[in-house]
Amino acid sequence: MLTLKVDSELELRIFEPSEAGELFWLVDSNRRYLREWLPWIDGIQSPGQFYSVIQMWQKNFQEGSSSHFGIRFRGALAGSISLHAIDWSNSQASIGYYLSEKLQGRGITIRTVKAVINHAFYELGLNRIEIRCGKDNDKSKAIPMKLGFYKEGILRDGEFLNGNFHDLIVYGLLRREWQRRHRFIP
């Protein structure tokens, strides 16, 4: 399975079914924190559910429709980042991420998002990346803003979360914009 080396501390690795228990523990131990912004948290109540989900993610990876990576910080599972909704016809995809509450503030998320952007643009040849964040999720919104994404609009009532609809901000980035800022030629 695919592994992306980010730096000396970080590695991204496609989830394996054998990691279902570890992923469940991560989510369960951060449930209160993650529940604020992730609508699926309450639906996951056992490692067996993640086992099935990871099998689906692997099938999607083989089909080329998404890549769900475990974020490994110093070897331990710290969170998840995905390149999903890959649209090959229009050469675009979306990135989603979450990180353990205790590991916030170390630059982990921004480093992993950069690695996934480079993978998407330079290895997969995509042209556009999108990130959607809850309108009031300041920590999540900081990532695309720091990386030079453009705020493209608001999806009013774009997500049903904890019994209520809330707005999502859509951020977009094009490969040529990324190349200009980072002067990286593959």
Give counts: helices (H), strands (E), the chain: 6, 8
Whether residue 184 is predicted with pLDDT greater than 90 in this model: the reply is no
Q: Where are the domains of the chain?
A: 3-130
Average pLDDT, the chain: 94
Residue 186 confidence (pLDDT): 47
Tens of pLDDT along 38-97? 989 999 999 999 999 999 999 999 999 999 999 999 999 999 999 999 999 999 999 999
3-130, CATH topology level: Aminopeptidase (3.40.630)
Residues sharing a CB contact under 8 Å with residue 12, sequence separation 6 or more, in sequence order: 3, 4, 6, 69, 70, 71, 72, 81, 112, 115, 116
Place of tokens 């730096």: 7
